[in-house]
């Protein structure tokens, strides 16, 4: 499967790592207006892994009040939620790339973010693989949790990430 994504995807299973080449990094910098935003993963792939809008909105509002730029990330299924989230928020501080990136482009955007918050999802795993230091997972039930996959405290690439274990009904 990984070899289909390109020859530069490492097959070293000792640690997750996703290379971001210079051209994609430059594309991401332009897309992000040369800012280092806080990434917010909108959607979680499954309804039970999706961060509810009523919980996400106050977090995004607080980030914006503190002068942060927020980048909304997700696939096409997350676009309606991202649109509802954007409603009434200052457009100059929001960058919405939901449904507008390939997997490689999403990796490049994540590599330029200062941190990522959101549900346990492929984006969270990808963020760890591109070396993002600060990751905050939420399963949508109000508890912040991690899991024993890529984002394990024993994993060298995620050593800088705070991973909190917990039991949630949707935990893998």
Percent of the chain surpassing pLDDT 70: 67
What length does the chain have?
172
Per-residue model confidence as pLDDT tens digits over 77-106 = 999 999 999 998 999 999 999 999 999 999
Taking the CA atoms of residue 95, residue 84, residue 139 and residue 156 in that order, the dihedral angle to the nearest 10 degrees is -10
Per-residue model confidence as pLDDT tens digits over 38-59 = 999 998 777 777 778 888 899 9
Report residue 165's pLDDT band, with 50, 70 and 90 as the boundaries: very low
The pLDDT assigned to 94 comes to: 96
- Residue-averaged pLDDT of the chain: 78
Mapping DSSP to helix (H, G, I), strand (E, B) and coil, where does residue 134 land? strand
* Least confident piece of the model among 21-30, 45-54, 67-76, 124-133: 45-54
- Provide the H-helix boundaries in the chain: 22-31, 53-65, 79-86, 103-112, 122-129
Among candidate residues 61, 64, 70, the one with its CA nearest the CA of residue 37: 70
User: What angle do the packed helices 103-112 and 22-31 form, to 10 degrees?
Assistant: 70
Mapping DSSP to helix (H, G, I), strand (E, B) and coil, where does residue 172 land? coil
Quote the pTM value: 0.75
Report residue 23's pLDDT band, with 50, 70 and 90 as the boundaries: very high
Beta-ladder partners of 136: 117
The residue that leads in pLDDT, 98 or 146, is 98
């Amino acid at each position: 499967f990984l070899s289909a994504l390109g020859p530069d995807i490492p097959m070293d299973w000792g640690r997750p790592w996703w290379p971001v080449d210079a051209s994609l990094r430059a594309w991401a910098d332009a897309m992000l207006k040369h800012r280092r935003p806080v990434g917010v993963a909108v959607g979680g792939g499954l309804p039970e892994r999706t961060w509810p809008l009523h919980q996400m909105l106050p977090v995004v509002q607080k980030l914006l009040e503190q002068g942060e730029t927020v980048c909304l990330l997700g696939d096409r299924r997350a676009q309606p939620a991202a649109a509802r989230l954007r409603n009434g928020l200052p457009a100059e501080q929001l960058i919405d790339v939901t449904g507008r990136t390939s997997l490689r482009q999403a990796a490049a955007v994540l590599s330029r973010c200062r941190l990522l918050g959101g549900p346990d999802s492929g984006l969270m795993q990808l963020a760890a693989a591109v070396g993002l230091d600060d990751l905050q997972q939420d399963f949508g039930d109000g508890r912040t949790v991690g899991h024993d996959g890529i984002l394990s405290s024993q994993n060298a690439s995620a050593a800088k990430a705070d991973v909190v274990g917990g039991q949630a009904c949707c935990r893998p």
